[in-house]
Amino acid sequence: METPAHDGALFQPADLNICIFPHLREFLVVDARATVPGGPHTYLLSTEQVLDSNFYQGVERSVSEAIRDTPRTFADLGNMPQRVDDAIRDQALRAILRQIGSEEIVDNEDDDAPEVSVFLCVGAVLSMGAREIESTARAMLGGRAEDPTVNDCRQQFERLLAEERSHAKEEETDQARRAVEGDADFYFTVWTRAAEQP
């Protein structure tokens, strides 16, 4: 995802672009599908909107079906974590599509389902400058986006990126402090002097 695209953006955009900021409850969905009236659109969603009772019921139903449908060998049971992961991803996408009013496309069996890209905003993405953010917003929205739509997407992306950058810096500082103070989760001792015997 962090590979520069042909236009300088940091990832290859798709029909539906989901921008995840790991430390934030908010995320951005950029719907660039040509079939959406009045599009493209940018949606600012929160985990509270997506991880609702419909999401949890869907995951429970999918996992229950996966358990019942799994053949009874131990080797087949080893595939269960992947099936649970697939169920969670599927239900999360359904929940996002519900929020943007497009859930029916998930149940559609033809080839009209949109291509989905998940843009995880970590690492080098956090150091993006204004020009790269503008380029990424334009790339996600596609060529038919007008300037006000691009500006709205850019501003929301920029705000969320700044918040994520701040949280990531706080976490990095906290981890460094804990390592220096001797928190065992952050380092291990290669050699230690034996305690003196009385």
In a domain, 187, yes or no: no
The average pLDDT across 153-174 equals: 93
Q: What is the pLDDT of residue 145?
A: 86
49/26 Cα distance (integer angstroms): 10
Domain holding 123, by residue range, is 16-180
Q: pLDDT digits over 5-23, tens only?
A: 334 445 678 899 999 999 9
Q: What is the pLDDT of residue 186?
A: 56
Contact partners, residue 50, CB within 8 Å, separation at least 6: 92, 95, 96, 99
Q: Say what percent of the chain tops pLDDT 70.
A: 79
In a domain, 192, yes or no: no
Q: Say what percent of the chain tops pLDDT 90.
A: 46
In a domain, 31, yes or no: yes
Count how many domains the chain has: 1
In a domain, 198, yes or no: no
In a domain, 116, yes or no: yes
In a domain, 11, yes or no: no
Q: What is the pLDDT of residue 13?
A: 80
Q: What is the pLDDT of residue 9?
A: 46
Question: Whole-model pTM?
Answer: 0.77
* Banded model confidence at residue 83, pLDDT cuts 50, 70, 90: confident
In a domain, 189, yes or no: no
Is residue 184 predicted with pLDDT exceeding 70? no
Contact 114, 14 (CB under 8 A): yes
In a domain, 167, yes or no: yes
Q: pLDDT digits over 86-100, tens only?
A: 999 999 998 998 898
Lowest pLDDT segment from 61-65, 171-175, 183-187: 183-187
Q: What is the pLDDT of residue 5?
A: 39
